Amino acid sequence: MPIRTKRAYETAARGDGRRFLVERLWPRGIKKTDLEIEAWLKDVAPSPELRQWYGHDPAKWLEFQRRYRRELDANAAARQPLQAAARRGTITLVYSARDEERNSAAVLRDYLNSRKAAKGKA
């Protein structure tokens, strides 16, 4: 099933499926009652140290991806709810970064899709 990403500041849509906030910090200016998410999965987000090191610097993007994937490899329990939900239907990873291409939700989406593909080949 599809795994999508969407900024927290965009309106939820029927096609989003189950929505999960995948950030350590709550998005600025949004009320908790307005976000329309199933769960806030803080532990699947990059560590505070990695997030601060990256600082959304495009020059650090490739290294950020590598380091974040390593964190995901080491944290199966945190990603398990997303993997289970994705097996049952469409999910949307909700994030707050301004950059719609270079953000942790995009890395997480690609990571989950690659694990799904690897399981399909096994």
Torsion, Cα of 31, 56, 15, 3 (10° steps): -130
- Length of the chain counted residue by residue: 122
Rounded Cα gap, residues 112 and 25, in angstroms: 21
Residue pLDDT, tens place only, 14-36? 999 999 999 999 999 999 999 99
Rounded Cα gap, residues 106 and 72, in angstroms: 13
Residue 74's pLDDT is 97
Residue 115's pLDDT is 86
Mean pLDDT of 59-74: 98
Strand partners, 21: 40, 94
Helix (H) or strand (E) holding 91: strand 91-95
Task: Report the predicted TM-score, pTM, of the whole model to 2 decimal places.
Answer: 0.93
Mean pLDDT of 56-68: 97
